[in-house]
Amino acid sequence: MSAPHLHPPLSSRPGYLPRLCSRGGSLAPMFLALAQGGLLALALALPLPAFAQAGARDLSAQIAKVGQAWEKAYNAGDAAVVAALYTTDAQLMVPGAEPGSGPKAVQKLIAGDIALGGKLSLKTGDIVGFGDYVLETGSWVANSPDGKHLDHGPYLTLYKKADGGWKIYRDIWNSSMASK
């Protein structure tokens, strides 16, 4: 049986500072170095929000370009051009149909939607990038060629980095109108 400690360990005594320098010496240089390191880290971190904002603007512009191409081709009735904006392993989920996977299925679903006769306008709500993916949310409105409101609703598009740019990887939109 070992003898109980009669004195508390040094580390619990008031005013005790552990010896951090092997030669003894003052702690002041160490604290000064820590303070300088902290100031340097702060100075390096301050510009990061500006860089992040610039990157977000660039990303938003890139995604907007794809969205504009989608809207233009759709409204021109060119399902093949719209389908070319999707990855080869894309999935498209449109109202009133089973999801389609791959270029042929995407083109068929887009062509079916174009055949309904509406002209679409898209409005981006939010764009969030994470690595090789970007998530875009927004809303769409379909009007007839004479301007009559046909339908509207939200959309969600997941982009993936492919072929040196952004392509649509997953796409879904829903109608906000009550079914007839």
Mean pLDDT, to the nearest integer, of 59-85?
97
Whole-number pLDDT of residue 178: 84
**2-30 per-position pLDDT tens digit:** 455 455 555 555 554 455 444 555 555 65
Q: In a 3-state reduction of DSSP, which class is residue 60? A: helix
Higher-pLDDT residue of 75 and 46 is 75
Does residue 153 surpass a pLDDT of 70? yes
Angle at 99 between CA 157 and CA 162, to 5 degrees: 45
pLDDT for residue 179: 78
When pLDDT is averaged across residues 107-117 and rounded to a whole number, the result is 94
Residue 34 in this model has a pLDDT that exceeds 90: no
In the predicted structure, residue 176 carries a pLDDT above the cut 90: yes
Tokens of 84: 């070319």
Contacts of 141 (CB under 8 A, 6+ apart): 120, 121, 123, 149, 151, 152
Which region among 35-44, 81-90, 168-177 has the lowest average model confidence (pLDDT)?
A: 35-44
Instruction: Using alpha carbons, select from 87, 61, 58 the residue that is nearest to residue 168.
Output: 87
For residue 118, pLDDT beyond 60 = yes
Q: Which whole-number Å values give the CA distances from 60 to 9, 68, 121, 122, 128, in the listed order?
A: 60, 12, 18, 14, 9
Asked if pLDDT for residue 54 goes beyond 50, the answer is: no
Q: What is the pLDDT of residue 30?
A: 56
pTM of the complete model beyond 0.75 = no
State the helix-helix crossing angle for 103-114 and 48-75, rounded to 10 degrees. Answer: 60
Assign domain 51-173 to its CATH architecture: Roll (3.10)
Q: Which among 35-39, 50-54, 108-112 has the top mean pLDDT?
A: 108-112
* Rounded distance between C-alpha atoms, residue 112 and residue 33, angstroms: 68
Average pLDDT, the chain: 82
